[in-house]
Amino acid sequence: MTVAEPAHVVILGGGIFGTSAAAQLARKDVRVTLVTESALASGASGRSLAWLNAAWNWPAPYFAIRMAGIDRWRTWATRHADAARYLRFTGGLMWADEADGESLRDLFATERERGYDAQWVGRDRIAEVAPGVDPAAVAEEGAIFNPGEGWVDLPSVIALLAEEVVSRGGSVLERAGTSRPIVEHGRAVGVRTAGGEEVRGDAVLLATGPSVPGQLSELGIEIGTSSPPAFVAFTAPVDTALDTTLNTPHVAIRRTVDGGLAMDSGWSERSIEVREDGSLHIPDAVVTRLLDEARRVLAGHPHLQLARIGSGYKPVPADGEPVYGRIDEVPGLYVAFSHSGATQGLIAGELLADEIATGSVSPLLSAFRPGRFASPA
């Protein structure tokens, strides 16, 4: 479908999806206004482990868009001289929880069948592929090393994307409070900030992370969500040779731009207490155990000092797969809602900008349309 190119697009959300799409539209000479509730990268993008990967038995369409996402990050790395400061392809290492009878042999076979760069490494090779990891912590069967994986500091990239938007004539409106799309005569025509300011445009992209389903529900549009509470713990700088991203049975770890570590896990997220007022409480004992799990897998078991915790809800659609593109019920309204925003951030912004500007839907997005949640007629 071909549509008239919008003269002005309003994007609601200052994370990686919103800023990526904004920069791509600005490159097409479309005027953009980016509106965000608080500061840029203050939501899910600012507390992401940001592991760049396609390392799981994903359905083929999801695997394909994640692989395209990694490709775009590699392109970014070649075009930004200082990218190594916040974007590194130093590989990923994962091993199974043998105490629970798990094995990664089948996953390794799937990765190899798909052409995903994967090596099976025994304990005797851990120091070679992942310096800084204690080989004794690795499963006896060995581990999967994925050389092409990496990590990114999303706030660093978001700041650069926002600067590009402004340099190309766009605007960034931070700290606008809880803002919502304006729909008139059935069409999205802009965004209204918490203070009542209206930013009018020809199209609106809703990219507010875990808030997306609720904001659409206010418009009578339901998309499934299973967004759980989550947190990432960040440490002070630590003396360790670790540069590989780790996905271990009880803790996932990556380096940070300041020389510290970022870490999370499934069990620690399930330990979060949601209070009656909706606030999240993370017990001290949970954080202590998470740090201890990280120390256990690191060579030399260095002391880890907690610097800060980033907590909130993780944006996860009900079926676990992305929600991208036009809202059929409301012309002019588009959405970006997905887990693993780091891996997909650049490619999703690129393809959504193409759709908004031209009406053309990439085959990479066709499996992830919002309309799949609509009730049968």
pLDDT for 5 equals 83
Residue 377: the pLDDT is 54
Tell me what pLDDT residue 3 has: 57
Integer Cα distance of 55 and 33 in angstroms: 35
Kindly give the parts of the chain with pLDDT less than 70: 1-3, 375-377
Q: What structural domains and CATH numbers belong to the chain? A: 8-47+154-226+318-373 (3.50.50.60), 92-147+228-313 (3.30.9.10)
Residue 261: the pLDDT is 98
Q: In what order do the strands lie in the sheet with 333-337?
A: 171-173, 31-35, 8-12, 203-206, 333-337, 323-326
> What is the side-by-side order of every strand in the sheet holding 150-152?
51-52, 150-152, 87-88
DSSP output for 37-67: SSSTT-SGGGG---EE---S---HHHHHHHH
What tens digit of pLDDT does each residue of 208-221 get? 999 999 999 999 99
In the structure encoding, which two tokens stand for residue 162, read together? 């926002």
b/e map 205-236, b = 16+ CB within 10 Å: bbbbbbbbbebbeebebebebebbbbbbbbbe
The pLDDT of residue 127 is 95
Residue 105: predicted pLDDT = 98
pLDDT of residue 237: 98
